Amino acid sequence: MSAICALVAGVGLLAGLGGAGLERRGGVQLLLGSWCVAMVVAIVFPTNAAGTPAELAAQVHRYAVGWMFAVLPLAIWLLARRCREQARCAPVRRCWPG
């Protein structure tokens, strides 16, 4: 259930980027979109129990989760860089160090 909630939040963030005045095309959208796809793959392909041999579904699940952990921080970093350059993000920039 928590994975589905995270997926909904990711899709909401992806949809809200355009409403925030940020481009709909670019690296942030591509990375967030791939994160959402990897989340769906991780939900569809379950992992196996600990101590049992990894089956194909478990391997797919592991690669999808690895992609999610690698991509999300990069997408947020790119989003923060893009927000830093826009005047609309001025209230948020005061909270960021540097």
CB-based contact 79:11 (threshold 8 Å): no
| Number of other residues whose CB lies within 10 A of the CB of residue 8 | 12
pLDDT at residue 20, rounded to an integer = 65
pLDDT at residue 68, rounded to an integer = 92
The phi-psi region of residue 26 (left if phi > 0; otherwise alpha if psi is between -120 and 50; otherwise beta) is left
Q: What whole-number distance in Å separates Cα of residue 90 and Cα of residue 50? A: 47
| Number of other residues whose CB lies within 10 A of the CB of residue 7 | 18
Q: Could you tell me the pTM of the whole model?
A: 0.76
State which H helix or E strand residue 49 sits in: none
pLDDT at residue 48, rounded to an integer = 86
All structural domains of the chain with their residue ranges: 2-93
pLDDT at residue 65, rounded to an integer = 92
pLDDT at residue 44, rounded to an integer = 92
pLDDT tens digits, 13-44 = 777 776 666 666 678 888 888 988 999 999 99
pLDDT tens digits, 54-91 = 899 999 999 999 999 999 899 888 887 777 776 666 66
Between the CA of residue 36 and those of 10, 81, 95, what are the distances in Å? 6, 21, 27
